[in-house]
């Protein structure tokens, strides 16, 4: 519903890049040269396809266990991507809150840069990060896609236990 999704995986099945495009070759420049390989089109990526299908069918946490392999620009970026995978569906955070979750509350720009450099859209859910004023901000795949993903997760995410 958000448009075509292309996913590049490594030989071990870990997602190396993903994006809302019909052209998987357009994702190759997002992958670090050390992780690149030849692109072979397959309609079914096994567990990755099953997780995306379950996510679209309303199981908003189905993509969480899918392994991701990205080359980082440094320790903070790698940590920030791991933290981003812990942001719960249906509970977006601001860039300021994201920087704080990553342990560097003053590093809002570095947190935003981690989102911008994320090659594994959906699986490393940078769409769950909003501007400080709560507006959408940017998204490599377009604000319509970001809006749809956030609305889908708001409808399908597990509700927090009462009293929390």
Query: What token pair was written down for 149?
Result: 């993903």
- Euclidean distance between CA atoms 147 and 85, whole angstroms: 18
Q: Does 115 qualify as catalytic in the annotation?
A: no
What residues contact residue 156 under an 8 Å CB cut-off, 6+ apart?
Answer: 58, 59, 60, 89, 90
Residue 73 pLDDT > 90: no
Residue 144 binned pLDDT confidence (cut-offs 50, 70, 90): very high
At 1 the pLDDT is 86
CATH classification code of 75-156: 1.10.10.10
Residue 164 pLDDT > 50: no
- Euclidean distance between CA atoms 115 and 13, whole angstroms: 22
pLDDT digits (tens, 9 = 90+) for 12-35: 899 999 999 999 999 999 998 888
Question: Rounded to two decimals, what is the model's pTM?
Answer: 0.91
Residue 157 binned pLDDT confidence (cut-offs 50, 70, 90): confident
At 119 the pLDDT is 95
Q: Among 68, 93, 120, 126, which one carries the catalytic annotation?
A: 126
Each domain of the chain, given as residue ranges in start order, spans 6-56, 75-156
What residues contact residue 90 under an 8 Å CB cut-off, 6+ apart?
Answer: 60, 153, 154, 156, 157, 158
Average pLDDT over residues 121-139: 94
- Euclidean distance between CA atoms 118 and 71, whole angstroms: 10
Average pLDDT over residues 54-77: 92
Q: How many CB atoms lie within 10 A of CB 99?
A: 24
């Amino acid at each position: 519903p958000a448009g075509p999704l292309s996913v590049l995986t490594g030989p071990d099945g870990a997602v190396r890049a993903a994006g809302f495009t019909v052209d998987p070759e357009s994702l190759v420049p997002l992958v670090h040269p050390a992780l690149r390989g030849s692109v072979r089109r397959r309609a079914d990526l096994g567990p990755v396809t099953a997780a995306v299908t379950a996510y679209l069918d309303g199981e908003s946490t189905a993509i969480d266990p899918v392994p991701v392999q990205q080359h980082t620009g440094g320790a903070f970026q790698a940590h920030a991507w791991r933290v981003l995978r812990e942001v719960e569906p249906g509970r977006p955070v601001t860039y300021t809150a994201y920087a704080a979750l990553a342990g560097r509350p003053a590093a809002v720009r570095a947190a935003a840069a981690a989102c911008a450099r994320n090659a594994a859209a959906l699986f490393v859910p940078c769409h769950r990060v909003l501007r400080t004023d709560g507006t959408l901000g940017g998204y490599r795949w377009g604000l319509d896609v970001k809006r749809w993903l956030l609305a889908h997760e708001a409808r399908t995410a597990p509700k927090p236990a009462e009293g929390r």
